[in-house]
Homo-oligomer: A and B are copies of this chain.
Amino acid sequence: MVSEKDVQQETAEKVKAEAVEETEETAENAAQQEKSTEAEAVNWQQQAEEAEDKYLRLRAEFDNYRRRIQKENETLQKYRAQNVVTGILPALDNFERALNIETTNDESASLLKGMQMVHSSLLEALKAEGVEIIESTGQQFDPNLHQAVMQVSEEGYESNTVIEELQKGYKLKDRVIRPSMVKVNE
């Protein structure tokens, strides 16, 4: 048999349950909302971190590029005369050869002297751009500077010494444009 108290109790429980259910629903909605907002936050955080990472990698790339270009430009600037100097070497060789004649009269001697001055001023101008004649005769043979086209065995000279220069060699700053062609003692 059901007592009145039991009924009273039952009613109270029922009312409570309904009320709780209703409020719980709101709480659940809030939790649901919270979950999707949290997912959104995580998503944005990921994007922020990715974008920051992308930015940092690009900046490193930019810095490397700048450094590389600067180095390349320094090299370009340093050796900028190379092509034109290499181009005029045959003319310089001919010039030298033409200066090596013997003159037998004043007119020729005067003309030759004028040309020697022109030749000197040309070499001076090239020197200002870093062009230097490689020393060879009397020097120790150096395969980085000299190209041995003849090897002889002569007394009175030290071994591995350049005895004669057959064609002038040129350097542009620290770069050999053309080695000297030389005769070397064994």
Contacts and interface: CB of A to CB of B under 8 A. Distances in A.
A54 B45 CA distance: 16
Interface residues of A, number: 72
Contact of A122 (B52, B76, B91, B124): B91
B126 A87 contact: yes
B125 A91 contact: yes
19 contacts: A12-B12, A19-B20, A23-B27, A37-B37, A47-B52, A55-B55, A65-B66, A69-B69, A73-B73, A80-B84, A81-B84, A87-B129, A91-B121, A94-B117, A95-B118, A95-B122, A103-B107, A108-B108, A111-B112
Given A44-B48, A48-B51, 16 more contacts: A8-B8, A13-B15, A19-B19, A20-B20, A26-B27, A27-B30, A37-B41, A41-B41, A48-B48, A51-B51, A51-B55, A55-B58, A81-B84, A88-B125, A94-B117, A107-B107
